[in-house]
Amino acid sequence: MLRSSSCSRAFALAIILVALSAAEALAHCFVGPRFFPATLATDDPCVADEMSLPTVAWSKTGDVPAAAEWDISAELSKRITEDLGISIGDTWSNIHQPGGFTHAGFSNLETTLQYQLLKDGPHELALLLGLIVDWGGTGAVDSGLATPWSTLTPTFYFGKGFGDLPDSFGWVRAFAVTGQIGYQIPTRSFDIDSGSFIPQVLVYGASLQYSMPYLKSEIHDYQLPDFINHLIPLVEMQLSTPVANNFGNSGLTTGTINPGVIWVGTYFQVGAEAVLPVNHASGTGVGFLGQLHLYLDDMFPTTIGRPLLGGSSAPPQQLKF
């Protein structure tokens, strides 16, 4: 995460908020035999009824001396219909520089409207469209942790499991990838306070994941310990690159690469990742990201775990075989 001199603070905050916007929004995602877990740093490609509470991140900024930053966030995702969902989330941050400043407060409120374009079970393919809105002025603007302007980020998400490869590929079929790419548009082009342009930013990320539950139930049951069979090791990457209206600012790509693991249970999952900055502008040292994620559709299948409109799923049909 960026934290730099006062003259570029607005730009740095914009980048931070870009990173945070990609670090929330989660879903319970079945596509055919494939289960895509709720990834921690990027979003998965499904609408769902779920809640992340909390997501905790710790990292050090690229400043000299580096400031320590804690982020604690929560998000609630709710299906309106079977294919349309909305989520709302926020993050509380505390940034402390040894011998220097301490900033604490909430970032801007973030909402995401998502529409499920496709769920292709046989090919384990899911496509999703979303619009992320960061509502300006709803956070701690005075502390520099939020901006007075809003941002709109149309985003495309995808997920693809490799289970449809031929059986001869064996254990490789347990791999899956997910990803997202969005274009962040601020509602202002110039920040008068800092005298800097507010860039439009390409926000993108991906995950490579290996599903031990899939290996056990679809490929080969090695009768490993039950705990191991619930694990999904993964590597996530989240990046952002200013691409327009960036006069006088750095055009440097920032972001992190996060190796970690998710333990998937029946009603919730727990994830933990190391956070590795891709360059000095993205932070220093190794950070940490952890999350408890609740599957509301499994916990409350007849109440808050079903879509607001329509049933929790298509009416069951008698199977033919």
Can you give the binding site for other proteins, defined by CB under 8 A?
30, 32-33, 53, 121, 167, 213, 216-221, 223, 266-268, 292, 294-295, 297-302, 312-313, 316-319, 321
* Euclidean distance between CA atoms 293 and 320, whole angstroms: 36
* Euclidean distance between CA atoms 139 and 151, whole angstroms: 13
Q: How far is the CB of 66 from other proteins (least distance, A)?
A: 29
Q: How far is the CB of 59 from other proteins (least distance, A)?
A: 24
Residue 297 parent element (H or E) = helix 296-299
Tokens for 120, please give them.
């292709």
**Nearer Cβ to other proteins (99/316):** 316
**Nearer Cβ to other proteins (94/246):** 94
Tokens for 194, please give them.
């800092």
**Nearer Cβ to other proteins (116/254):** 116
Pairing of strands 200-210, 284-295: unpaired
**Nearer Cβ to other proteins (167/193):** 167
Q: How far is the CB of 270 from other proteins (least distance, A)?
A: 12
Contacts 24+ apart (CB under 8 A), 53-56: 53/292, 53/294, 54/291, 54/292, 55/23, 55/24, 55/289, 55/290, 55/291, 56/288, 56/289, 56/290, 56/291
Q: How far is the CB of 208 from other proteins (least distance, A)?
A: 22
Q: How far is the CB of 213 from other proteins (least distance, A)?
A: 7
**Nearer Cβ to other proteins (204/214):** 214
